[in-house]
Amino acid sequence: MRIVIIEDEPLTAKDLASCVLAAEPAAEIVATLGSVGEANAWFRGNALPDVIFSDIQLGDGKSFAVFEKLMRTVPVIFCTAHDEFALEAFGAAGIDYLLKPFTEKTVRGAIEKYKALKAAPRVAAAGAILVYYKEKILPVKIGDIALFYLEREVVRIVGFDGKAYVVNKSLEELEGLAGAGFFRVNRQYLVNRKGVKDVSQYFGRKLLVNLVLPFEDKITVGRLKVPAFLEWLAGS
């Protein structure tokens, strides 16, 4: 397991490296980077690691700027003293969010979460995806999901049981995994055919989608997508 650490406090970076190696002796820490600028330069000239441990607030800006350029290709475990960035972190390829002071135990837990996510393609092939719930990662069957939706750059799901979870995948990725039983009604929503109670006319020749479970937000289908949506809804 190749790991990069992004941390601008040298002692903290050293402690983090020690915790990582104690939790995963076979890990290789290939770089310790201290700023957004240094990280951007390193990633331009080096092979991507398997996982990144990163602080958020660095001396020259937030580390999110680094991960925007990586296009969500590498999972990130955030280690920070600030708890207000959690939602933004999960929208930037974050798979865990450790508050300082971290410990060997919390670092080990994050590494185990990374290992579980590596198994996600096998879970998806079996008809399920991995989701976050509190401190756990759970498999949820795709058929049990009423909709996927994007909220403040974080993708969530709502099950037919009404429970909501965070997913570390884009809606584009989920659209491919979910299959023909789901329809991308707009940029924000991917709905299950079984989750649609009915549809009604809406402003501007749009359709309003009503679900079989309570959901506060209005889900609309743009007029250009209406014919394809109705064909899909009919099961064609």
Instruction: List the chain domain ranges.
Output: 2-118, 127-233
The residues, any chain, with a CB within 8 Å of residue 113's CB and separated by 6 or more, are 77, 95, 96, 137
pLDDT by 10s per residue, the chain, length 236: 999 999 999 999 999 999 999 999 999 999 999 999 999 999 999 999 999 999 999 999 999 889 887 766 788 999 988 777 776 776 667 788 888 999 999 999 999 888 877 765 555 555 788 887 776 778 888 999 999 999 888 899 999 999 999 888 888 888 888 888 999 999 999 999 999 999 999 888 899 999 999 998 999 998 889 989 998 998 75
Question: 204 exposed, middle or buried (CB, 10 Å; 0-12, 13-18, 19+)?
Answer: exposed
**Three-class HEC string of 75-135:** CEEEEECCCCCHHHHHCCCEEEEEECCCCHHHHHHHHHHHHHHHCHHHHHHCCEEEEEECC
User: Quick one: CATH architecture of 127-233?
Assistant: Beta Barrel (2.40)
CATH number of 2-118: 3.40.50.2300
- Residue keyed to tokens 């915790």: 19
Question: 2-118 with 127-233: one CATH topology?
Answer: no
